[in-house]
Amino acid sequence: MLSSSHAEWVLARFVGQEQSATLIGDLLEQRTERGAWWFWRSFSRLLLAVAWRPVVGFVAAVVMSATAYNALMTRIMGMWVTTAVQTTMLAAMAAWFIAVYAGVRYGLRDVLSHVAGVAATLFTISVVLWPYPMALQSAAAVALSVTFVFIVMRSHRAAIGTLLATGVVFFAGFSLMAYSSDAYVRHVLHIKHLGSPELQQNPSIEYVNLGLQLFGEAVTAIVCAKLHRRFVLGRDQELIAIK
Amino acid sequence: MKRPVALGEFEQIVLLAILRLGDEAYGVTIREEIAACTGREPSPGALYTTLTRMEEKRAIRSWLGEATLKRGGKAKRHVAVTEQGRKALSDSQRAYQSLLRGLNLLGGTDA
């Protein structure tokens, strides 16, 4: 049987523990007069109001990051792919993921959306221009100038920190996914050389990869939301100051 | 330079309700006040998202209050209008008053 504590737990996934407790407290205060049906109807509407942006933002971010990956992979096909190209490509994926997630969740006026959007564009341009050193150097100069301007702007500093920290989590998730996927293929399926025939014979590899990827991206989204709340909005500090 | 805070219609209603309630303003009382004055009760979701948005705009501030048994031991989140919110509200209301001037919509002597 569902209770108000379950409702509070679900709501806390989207608004934080403290907000969730006060919101459920508001509904409980009126439940004695209005009944359980009203409580659950109000809770459902409340949940819909607070959850649609994070959920839609996450789905859009996953799609965008996969699209960026496929587009950039097509672009670099046939190129001499160095570790630097791969790292820049991963950075572009991470930046697109964060830009789209923040854009949907916090709106296009949010500073994190701006900073991540600019970073995503610059990383993407860098990968595209990789075979042309002069153009690449120009892109790097623009990237450095933009970063400097953002650091000078006080309002954007917290967003840069949030972007960097979330980007590191994305990288870590991606590396962990690659390692776990390799371990699954080697130690569970006992496949030494993975090629197209092995992939066709073992469709579970695709499912495991997809599951690991979604897990890593979900962790990235959670970290992004927590850091944004704490540093970009500065809500936690403000509440402590008022207390 | 700080950009002036722009307020929507519902945001103005919520700010007015908070000002009317004074120290007693929190989720439940704000909804009741709006229902009593406008005849429309806002949904908890609409009120929560509006309060969050206004806090981000620095039009209101919030703090945790007392927990009661009736609320399942959960604290109230009290809200108050900031100076910035008060100014944004008076600017919006002034604009409404200018638009109303010369019209006899309220049936007063302002026609």
- Per-residue pLDDT tens over the stretch B45-69: 999 999 998 998 889 999 998 888 8
A23 to chain B: nearest residue by CA? B27
Tokens 């840069």, residue located: A160
HEC string of A124-178 equals: HHHHHCCCCHHHHHHHHHHHHHHHHHHHHCHHHHHHHHHHHHHHHHHHHHHHHHH
Residue pairs spanning A and B at CB distance below 8 A: 72
Q: Are B92 and A42 in contact (CB under 8 A)?
A: no
Q: How many angstroms separate the CA atoms of B90 and B103, rounded? A: 20
- Per DSSP, A37 falls in state H
Q: How many angstroms separate the CA atoms of B46 and A59, rounded? A: 23
DSSP bridge partners of B67: B75
Q: How many angstroms separate the CA atoms of A15 and A17, rounded? A: 7
Question: Tens of pLDDT along B1-57?
Answer: 456 678 889 999 999 999 999 999 999 999 999 999 999 999 989 999 999 989 988
Q: Cβ separation of B74 and A27 shorter than 8 Å?
A: no
Q: What value does the mean pLDDT take over residues A198-205?
A: 84
Question: Tens of pLDDT along A69-82?
Answer: 889 888 877 777 77
Q: What is the pTM of this model?
A: 0.80
A40 to chain B: nearest residue by CA? B44
Q: Are B27 and B14 in contact (CB under 8 A)?
A: no
Q: Cβ separation of A26 and B70 shorter than 8 Å?
A: no
- Among the partner-chain residues B48, B55, B62, the one whose CB lies closest to the CB of A46 is B48
pLDDT band at residue A235, thresholds of 50, 70 and 90? Answer: low
Average pLDDT, chain A: 87
A50 interface with B at CB cutoff 8 Å: yes
* Two tokens, residue A91: 């950075």
* Buried-exposed string B9-48: b where 16+ CB fall within 10 A, e elsewhere: eebebbbbbbeebeeebbbbbbbebbeeeeeeebebbbbb
Q: Which chain A residues touch B77 with a CB distance below 8 Å?
A: 19, 22
